[in-house]
Amino acid sequence: MSHVANIMISVEFTDRPAVEALSQWLRTSAPRRGYEPGAVGWVGSLNETTGSDTRWGGGKYPECEVFAGALNHADLAGLVARVERVPWVHPESVQLFVMDQEQSYFRVWMFHGPRLRQIAPEGREDDIYPDGGPSDIHTRFALADDAEFLRDLVVAAVNWAPGRDVSREAVLSDPRNAHYVDGWPGRGDLGIVALSTGEATGWQPLPVGAAWLRYLPAEDPGYGFVDPAVPELSIGITAAQRGRGIGTLLIRRLLRTAAEAGVERVSLSVERDNPALRLYEREGFRVHDPREGEDALTMVTRLRRDS
């Protein structure tokens, strides 16, 4: 895959400074695909295609500002998330067009309330995201400001069993749990967040789950520690959203992204009676160094078959 994409964005004239700031972000701080997890830097820029001396349709002058550019190794989900967070003066006029080089059509996003929604083309998401998943769920990379949500998921993961009710303070004060989120993201860390949108949330994207990888050292190992070079997977889904296939969606997108970044193996820890064990087995995880009598299993999957 070339990771090249063509993009255009149309805005009101008063939002020109916001597009210029977005272009600067693409030049300096945008997430990069195809590099080590967490990499940021230059992926391209946006240039104006309209101007005071430009005429459309004979005597017509443009009634909006249009910017375009070719991006290389850009995280397109991260781009969409960034556009959604820009403080636009006229969000109702913002239109974002994105076409991967491997595709023959543009995808188009516009604001619906506070949410930037893909409005076209219909029925093509399987071409873009072959992992499936519920129609109201979309994903993006986990960001630094997702740390608090990841802490919520760690607490939920500890309390997965019916009747177990360890307090949030107790869970997060335990170093064996805290190191999965403290200082997020560290070097090489990578995560995917699932968001639900719909009329119930006023079309505001609501985080409902996440899967993330952390590299932990031998002197501070995780429950599923195998080697300092093998990141450990954590995953959590909010209680109301479980059983909808979101976990499968998160794991597949996270592991595919990790493989593209050069990660060779991923580990995890799961209690023997946790129903999630079957999910991990379906997605290629196998028990590593099984030990009789232990309540938890360490599992590993290999992402690069030629390694």
CATH value at residue 253: 3.40.630.30
Q: With bands split at pLDDT 50, 70 and 90, how would you rate the model's confidence at 127?
A: very low
Spatial distance between the Cα atoms of 27 and 248, rounded to a whole number of angstroms:
34
- Residue 250 confidence (pLDDT): 94
Instruction: Say whether pLDDT at 214 is over 70.
Output: yes
Residues 52 and 145 in one domain: no
Domain end position, chosen among 93, 128, 163: 128
Whether 91 maps to a domain, the answer reads yes
Q: Which of the listed residues 128, 158, 175 is the one where a domain comes to its end? A: 128
Q: Do the domain assignments include residue 78?
A: yes
Residues 100, 149 within the same domain: no
**77, 185: one domain:** no
Domains contained in the chain, number: 2
The predicted pLDDT at position 69 comes to 94
**In the prediction, which pLDDT does 104 show?**
66
Same domain, 108 and 205: no
pLDDT exceeds cutoff 90 at 137:
no
The tens digit of pLDDT for each residue in 246-295 reads 999 999 999 998 998 889 999 999 998 888 999 999 999 999 877 665 78
3-state SS, residue 73: coil
pTM of the model: 0.60
Q: Is residue 264 part of a domain?
A: yes
Q: What is the pLDDT of residues 156-172, one digit of tens each?
A: 988 888 888 889 999 99
Give dist(CA 263, CA 282) in Å, integer: 20
Q: What is the pLDDT of residue 131?
A: 58
pLDDT at 147 > cutoff 90: yes
List CB contacts of 162: < 8 A, sequence separation 6 or more. Answer: none
Average pLDDT of every residue of the chain: 85
Name the least confident of 86-100, 106-120, 256-270: 106-120
* Residue 152 phi, psi dihedral angles, 5° rounding: -60, -40
Residues 298, 287: contact at Cβ < 8 Å? Answer: yes
Q: Quote the strand ranges of 75-225, DSSP E.
A: 95-100, 107-112, 115-120, 137-141, 190-196, 206-214
Which residues span the domain enclosing 38? 4-128
Instruction: Check whether residue 147 and residue 188 sit in a common domain.
Output: yes
Backbone torsions φ then ψ of 126, nearest 5 degrees: -65, -30
- Residue-wise pLDDT for 63-74, tens only, equals 788 999 999 988
Q: CA 20, 204, 211: angle at the middle one, nearest 5?
A: 90
Task: Name beta bridge partners: 138.
Answer: 195
- What percent of the chain is predicted at pLDDT more than 70? 85
Orientation of helix 76-85 relative to helix 16-28, angle to 10°: 140
pLDDT of residue 126: 40
Q: Which residue has the higher pLDDT, 272 or 202?
A: 272
pLDDT of residue 128: 41
99 pLDDT more than 70: yes
**Which CATH number belongs to the domain containing residue 90 in this structure?**
3.30.70
Instruction: Say which residue, 4 or 227, is predicted with more confidence.
Output: 227
pLDDT of residue 269: 94
Look at residue 281 and tell me if it is in a domain: yes
191 and 88 within one domain = no
Sequence-distant (6+) residues with CB within 8 A of 68 are 6, 7, 8, 9, 46, 47, 49
